[in-house]
Chains A and B, each alone.
Chain A
Amino acid sequence: MTSQRIGRARQLTISASDDVDEFLFDQGLTDGLPVVPPTPARVERMLAQTRRDPLEEIGILPPNLAPLTVEKTAINAVMAGCKAEYFPTVLAGVEAIADDSYGLHGSGATTMGGAPVLIVNGPVRERIGINSAQNALGQGNRANATIGRAVRLVIRNVAGHRPGGTERATIGWPGKFTLCFGEWEERAPTWTPMHVERGFAAGDSVITAMTQSGGPTQLIDETSRTAKALAGSIGLKVAGQQHPRIPSMGELIVVISPEHYDTLAADGWTKDDVRRRIQQVAARPLRDLLESDQMGGFPKSALDSWPPFLPPLPIHNPDGSLRDDAMDVIMPKFGNDSMITIVVAGGGAGKFTSILDPLAGQVSVSKKIEDPV
């Protein structure tokens, strides 16, 4: 084993009399679970899977404004338990969260508790064994578990997000350990895969990072036999998301099981048809959303000053005043259909759809995964 590709990361020596696992915990380098010690030989194996220079800078990560290199990514990928062949996927994942449009600072600093959910498309899924089938969002698959964890460890160790420091999640959620899965494109042949919807070629391998703040919650619908009824159930489920009487401000992920896909596809419905039905069912007239002394809801103060970073509401006149018929205006749950991401994943048996909770104001980013060396 040579160490020619090792960059210039500082070497830390752990005394033979010290306990390696305890040392790594004590240094604050883990997510609360044990990590694999990143020895030079292991990092070297990881780096051998990319053509990129170990010292290449991928981005500057907030809040520490720390330069993230290929080598630092490899070190954290080793710690997360990644096989070397996962490394190009991890690299593309950190490229996505390092993209300025992703908004990494806010996703960690917010009290809502944001974390990247990673969705993988293309041939890489089969090549390295990313699970998109049974238990896709669950435990037990090494690629899913460790690729997501590697990105999280980079966010902790390089970007500097630490709970109690600049990371301020009020409640937090298990997705902050890891949440990575594949879209089962082949099981949904009549639907356009997510990466193709986003402008990539079908044969490209792509990872998408989307900040979410909770979930997944599961819709159980074992009786709907038409696409309209089933997509209606999904719309009803997401209408209550975050707050049942407040429009959502972030990007939604809907994970549809193969059996639910079959029901939707049997009527010829596309992903866009499902999006439209979700919007139709989840929308409410403004009068049904307004806060009252009985229950919370759409804040009356927002009628006069709607935050400018959100899509404008159809309740105002061009001069900003409230329309006379504002209370009858149908308010969409999501500002536009493109805020709804739909993917198929999960086992062959079971009529379920899982919904993740978005994080307000965040923008998802997709990056192409490098071909194998």
Chain B
Amino acid sequence: MTTENLVILDPTDEREPVRRELTQRPETISGTIALLDISKPRGDVFLNRLESLIAERLPGVATKRYMKPTVARPAPEDVKQAIRQEADFVIEALAD
């Protein structure tokens, strides 16, 4: 049994990843909802249904469709920028 302390080097990046706070939920829905398809099969089926439900239940709210070019990578900056500029909410169809 060793009687000395052992010194090792930290294998991690030595920082906690930034914890992102959730945006406060608004009381009401207004403006534009972005519907983001990530290019998975049947994501469009889900979003089509959602779009018609939104039109039926929230007639004053607009929807706008967006698409990631590939499911395998994070959304490109221009898609994220467009959603930020053009929409107030976003619903992402993960399809899993």
A residues within 8 Å of B by Cβ? 6, 9-16, 20, 29, 37-40, 43, 62-68, 71-72, 75-76, 79, 103, 105-106, 110-111, 153, 157-158, 160, 299, 301-302, 305, 307-309, 359-362
Contact = CB atoms under 8 A, between A and B. Distances in A.
Contacts of A67: 13
B30 to A, nearest CB: 30
19 contacts: A6-B9, A9-B14, A12-B7, A14-B8, A15-B5, A16-B5, A37-B6, A75-B11, A106-B74, A110-B72, A160-B17, A299-B41, A299-B42, A301-B45, A305-B44, A309-B72, A359-B72, A360-B71, A361-B70
Contacts of A309: 39, 69-72
Contacts of B81: none
A26 B67 CA distance: 41
Contacts of B9: 6, 9-12, 38-40, 43, 71, 75
Given A105-B74, A301-B45, A14 B11 contact: no
B45 A106 contact: no
A105 B74 CA distance: 8
Given A63-B17, A157-B12, A299-B42, A103 B6 contact: no
Contacts of B28: none
Q: Which of A14, A76, A305, A307 has the most CB of B within 10 A?
A: A307
A366 B14 CA distance: 28
Interface string B11-27: 11111010000000000
Contacts of B8: 11-12, 14, 37-40
Contact of B13 (A11, A111, A160): A160
Contacts of B39: 307-309
A153 B11 contact: yes
A73 B19 CA distance: 25
Contact of A301 (B7, B44, B72): B44
A294 B42 CA distance: 19
Chain A interface helix/strand/loop/mixed? loop
B2 interface: yes
Contacts of A307: 39-41, 70-71
A308 B68 CA distance: 9
Nearest to B69: A309
B22 to A, nearest CB: 17
Contacts of A360: 71-72
Nearest to B38: A307
Task: Rank and list the top 9 A-B pairs by shortest CB-CB distance, nearest first.
Answer: A361-B72, A66-B13, A309-B70, A10-B10, A106-B72, A9-B9, A157-B11, A307-B39, A75-B11
B96 interface: yes
B3 A16 contact: yes
A309 B69 CA distance: 6
B4 interface: yes
Contact of A20 (B6, B12, B42, B45): B6
A360 B45 CA distance: 21
Nearest to B74: A105
Contacts of B73: 103, 105-106, 361
B76 to A, nearest CB: 11
A370 to B, nearest CB: 22
Contact of B6 (A14, A65, A68, A305): A14
A226 B4 CA distance: 66
Contacts of B4: 16
A15 B6 CA distance: 7
Interface string B53-96: 00000000000000101111110000000000000000000001
Contacts of A40: 7-9
A63 B2 CA distance: 38
Q: Which of B3, B4, B10 has the most CB of A within 10 A?
A: B10
A103 B70 CA distance: 11
B71 to A, nearest CB: 6
Given A12-B7, A13-B7, A301-B45, A158 B12 contact: yes
A20 B8 CA distance: 10
A14 B4 CA distance: 9
A61 to B, nearest CB: 8
B13 A158 contact: yes
A16 B5 CA distance: 4
Q: Which of B8, B40, B42, B73 has the most CB of A within 10 A?
A: B8
A11 B10 CA distance: 6
